[in-house]
Structure 1
Amino acid sequence: MDYTGRQQRLAQALDGLKLDALLVTHAVNVRYVCGFTGSNAVLVAGPRRCILLTDGRYAEQANAEAQNVRVVIARGALLPEAAKILKKQRTAAAGIEAEHMPVAQRSILRGLLPKKVRLRETTGVVEQLRMMKEAAEISNLRQSVLLGARLFDTALEAVRPGVREIGVAAELEYAARRLGAEAMAFDTIVAAGRRSALPHGRASAAPIPARGFVVLDWGVKLAGYCSDQTRTVHVGTPDSEMRGQYMAVREAQQAAMEAVRAGATAGDVDRAARQALQHSGLARYFTHSTGHGVGLEIHEAPRLGKGLHERLRAGMIVTIEPGVYVPGKGGVRIEDMLCVTETGCEVLTPTTRELITL
């Protein structure tokens, strides 16, 4: 990973924001900037160098993992140590990650600093850098996607009438660990029958019915990077309405995929999916955005939603996941991960998108 390059790009971002320093407190952002994976850290990022603060539990780990930074082991709370560094550096304007620092901590930090030091709330400074994936990141994401895809066969073997949704999730998650996953990327979704109309129907104790859709949405973490995949299968023979619903979602996903390319806006991609569903009369049942970025976190920028103007760039990794959810009947979602290219996209998920009946 190019930690030096990341720190240089962060310094450029701070210069553009007229900040002398940024307190990076979100653990994922700390990892992105310097490689440290501990759960207690503050990174004081400046124009010339970064200082990593952590506690004694992580002394050995920090010195082994953190790249191109000075490691300081604090004896007490980290914010007072961060304030000391800001004062020593004669910082005039320091940024905080507003969405990741609670109000109480901001108040504490404000009280630790001279009034002449300006504290400014920032949003998404590091997250903007994370949107563009380096070659090593794309490689890690490919491996995570491939590991996740291997779990589909496990899920198909586990899905049968009478088995509880949580039982299917358990089989899938156990197989993930056995194959080498660090963790699941999020709570596994298994939603069967009428429950498949719940977009985020996490696995419950409900049994799988003798007939109906089963939405399976899962992902793994490998080397810190997430995968995200959704497949919808049908238990029993689907009727023409169910087949039509599935094909409508598949066509919407294909339309969105064809809209993905460097220079297209997030809204362009979302519009393509919705227009396809308009033709089938199902657009009103599509209740969420078309996709999102994936990386060290399962949901990252850019979000592919209605009216959004973020332009896609080559090297971004996104999902395409339209869905249709008919209350009282059932739902369908199909999701794949893509790498944006200059002329289109590369689909990373290898699993079939044909309707599978069990």
Structure 2
Amino acid sequence: MSERSRWKRLAKCLHAARLPALLITHLPDVRYLCGFTGSSAALVLLAGTSQVRARLFTDGRYRDQARAEVRGATVRIVKGNTLHAAAEWLAAGSVPVCGIDASHTSLATQSQLTKALRTAKSKCRLRALISPVTSLRQIKSEAEQQTLARAAALGCDLYNDLLTFIEPGLREIDIAAELECRARKAGADGMSFETIVAAGPRSSMPHARASAAPIRPGELLTLDFGIMLDGYCSDMTRTVQVGQGGTLGRQRHQREVFEAVLVAQQAAVEIVRDGVSAETVDAAARKTLKQAGMAKWFTHSTGHGLGLEIHEGPRIAAKQDEPLRAGMVITIEPGVYLPGQFGVRIEDTVRVTETGCEILTPAYKGWLEL
């Protein structure tokens, strides 16, 4: 989807909702629509029947940056509060109602905006709704898909290189630091989220932070990380065994759980295609783990969309009947977490196509002993 078509589709959405204006303060949405990457902005959209007129309000810190980055909107640099400036523009245009994003606009911001409209003597009322930009962002343009694929490929390269570094005795934070340093040197903007490195019993915590705990021989190590490239996120998870150690019974149990998760992950990946509901993909992973007697230890959703943010729609989970569409980029990441023992998670990022999906993270995900 080109930037021009984004504006056209948004105009149609606002016209259908009988909404003459929309205020956007969620920065990823601002970037998606006009390209601005600063940390302070309010984007006001005035809708016609087939086009949108847009103005970006930001402060003097971003004077040069805004003028270099912004496309499709006029830029106004303000000395005071950007919301006050946006309210004045709405008042000057005699806008009767303006939409605000219920998912990302705090009560404090709503109160501040209402007060600013009163000060500007505007009769404009606010309507909270799920921003139409949210649905627009779910289906990626060809350019976005290519950027996400490049980010995922870089993540795979980093993972493959890191395998030669990992060994028993290293601390989890040593591995996280090494990965993040290599990512920066390889050209990443930064990390998509705080890198998860968890070994042994700590791997039973799905979102464990890397700690100073050393990795003991024979422990399972879960590595969940993502990098950002040109503003877009990658995301992948692999679980490996670090060295030899532990009883034969524990080793066999680790391998059994790993294989069950791998089969569940592959079952979910294989069912992804245009038109299949998100809950159907989730159910495919859970059914496989139920057959293995491990479903109760799968404690989170099967996946999520990603793009400018690490978590975007759609959500791949139970009771999510939204159909997947070609052009969506999602993760498939079932896991099994045995409290106090160990955990296994395997995650790929995939691009939804008309007939199936393309795996963007093809790094080896079978059983691996380092």
Q: What TM-score do you get using the length of structure 2 for normalisation?
A: 0.94
State yes or no: 1:221 paired with 2:228: yes
**Inter-partner Cα distance in structure 1 for 2:123 and 2:81:** 23
**Inter-partner Cα distance in structure 1 for 2:142 and 2:260:** 35
Could you tell me how far 1:115 is from its partner in structure 2? 6.6
**Inter-partner Cα distance in structure 1 for 2:336 and 2:46:** 47
Tell me what 2:44 maps to: 44
- 1:263, 1:311 within 8 Å by CA — same for their partners in 2? yes
**Inter-partner Cα distance in structure 2 for 1:124 and 1:308:** 19
**Inter-partner Cα distance in structure 2 for 1:104 and 1:300:** 24
Could you tell me how far 1:19 is from its partner in structure 2? 1.2
Matched ranges for 1:1-358 at <5 A: 2-47=2-47, 48-113=52-117, 114=121, 116-237=123-244, 239-358=251-370
**Inter-partner Cα distance in structure 2 for 1:258 and 1:301:** 20
Could you tell me how far 1:2 is from its partner in structure 2? 2.3
SS of equivalent to 2:222: strand
**Structure 1: any 5+ residue segments left out of the alignment?**
none
**Inter-partner Cα distance in structure 2 for 1:158 and 1:202:** 19
> Matched residue pairs, number?
358
1:172-226 alpha-carbon deviations (Å, 9 max, x no partner): 0000001000000000000000000000011111111222110000100001000
Paired amino acid for 1:176: A
Paired amino acid for 1:89: G
**Inter-partner Cα distance in structure 1 for 2:28 and 2:135:** 13
**Inter-partner Cα distance in structure 1 for 2:258 and 2:339:** 15
- 1:154, 1:172 within 8 Å by CA — same for their partners in 2? no
Could you tell me how far 1:267 is from its partner in structure 2? 0.2
**Inter-partner Cα distance in structure 2 for 1:109 and 1:212:** 54
1:234-273 alpha-carbon deviations (Å, 9 max, x no partner): 1234722111101100000111011101110000000000
**Inter-partner Cα distance in structure 1 for 2:35 and 2:106:** 24
Could you tell me how far 1:117 is from its partner in structure 2? 1.6
**CA root-mean-square deviation:** 1.2
Q: Which moved more, 1:229-238 or 1:257-266?
A: 229-238
- 2:219, 2:242 within 8 Å by CA — same for their partners in 1? yes
1:90-149 alpha-carbon deviations (Å, 9 max, x no partner): 111101122222212211211222573220112242111100000000000010001111
Paired amino acid for 1:168: I
- 2:167, 2:243 within 8 Å by CA — same for their partners in 1? no
1:315-345 alpha-carbon deviations (Å, 9 max, x no partner): 0000000000011110000000100011111
Paired amino acid for 1:268: T
SS of equivalent to 2:322: coil
- 1:159, 1:208 within 8 Å by CA — same for their partners in 2? no
**Structure 2: any 5+ residue segments left out of the alignment?**
245-249
- 1:290, 1:322 within 8 Å by CA — same for their partners in 2? yes
Structure 1 segments of 4+ aligned residues over 3 angstroms from their partners: none
**Inter-partner Cα distance in structure 1 for 2:79 and 2:123:** 27
- 1:293, 1:319 within 8 Å by CA — same for their partners in 2? yes
Q: What TM-score do you get using the length of structure 1 for normalisation?
A: 0.97
SS of equivalent to 2:282: helix
1:285-342 alpha-carbon deviations (Å, 9 max, x no partner): 0000000001000010000001211110000000000000011110000000100011
**Inter-partner Cα distance in structure 2 for 1:175 and 1:28:** 26
